[in-house]
Structure 1
Amino acid sequence: MKMVTAIIKPFKLENVREALSEIGISGITATEVKGFGRQKGHTELYRGAEYTVDFLPKVKLEIAIVADQVDNVVKVISTAAKSGDEGKIGDGKIFVSSLEQVLRIRTGETGSIAL
């Protein structure tokens, strides 16, 4: 079992959700987060004063899947979250990690059956 964590731009959330739904992925957790990488924030003007916004709004997706779905899920997320043909700084990142155990609280099912 694997956990796919993706950090994407907020306006790409619906595109990614629809693309994952098309390949049969229905269990997704989305969290509004803030962060920066190479994008390094930006400067804004508010009421005549200039200030720096270091942390930019992002969405963190967490998807628990069986191991044989990883390549397809990563491909779908990266395609749906990419800005244009070339992509842009700030499009996001995808992390894949191992899941040692999963338990469905309601039924007590464990392992890939609980996904």
Structure 2
Amino acid sequence: MLLVRAIIRPEKADFVMKEASEAGFQAVTKMDVYGRGKQKGITVGDVHYDEIPKEMLLFFCNDEDKDDLVRVIMRTARTGEGNYGDGRIFVSPVEDAYTISTGKQGL
């Protein structure tokens, strides 16, 4: 089982969630986050923005579904030209999961 964490542009979040759902990845957690990547923020005129708003989407999937989910996120979160700030995807192993209401183990 894997956790796929996508940190993307806010304007892309709903589209990514819609496309992921249509591809069979309905369960998602969405959070507002702030940060910067390798570009160290952006400067507009005399003002430097160090914390840029992003959305973080959390998906859990089986190991064999990872490539499909990552492809959906890459395709839908990327701007036309592929620009700095389009985001990052992180994949981490998950040891276990439990449904609180039923006590069921796994996804």
TM-score range, shorter chain: over 0.9
- Partner SS, residue 6 of structure 2: strand
Structure-to-structure mapping, 1:59-78, within 5 angstroms: 59-78=55-74
Shift of 1:54: 0.4
Offset of residue 105 of structure 1: 0.3
Question: Is residue 2:64 matched to residue 1:82?
Answer: no
Larger Rg: 1
Shift of 1:76: 0.3
Alpha-carbon shift at residue 43 of structure 1 (Å): 3.2
Alignment-derived partner of residue 32 in structure 2: 32
Where does 1:1-115 land on structure 2 (aligned, <5 Å)? 1-44=1-44, 50-84=46-80, 86-111=81-106, 115=107
Structure 2: segments with no counterpart, 5+ residues:
none
Length-normalised TM-score, structure 1: 0.87
Report the residue type matching 2:63 in the other structure.
Answer: A
Post-superposition offset of 1:26: 0.8
CA distance in 2, matches of 1:87, 1:52: 22
Q: Distance in 1 between matches of 2:47 and 2:87?
A: 24
TM-score, normalised via structure 2 length: 0.93
Report the residue type matching 2:66 in the other structure. Answer: V
Q: Kindly tell me the number of residue pairs found equivalent between the two proteins.
A: 107
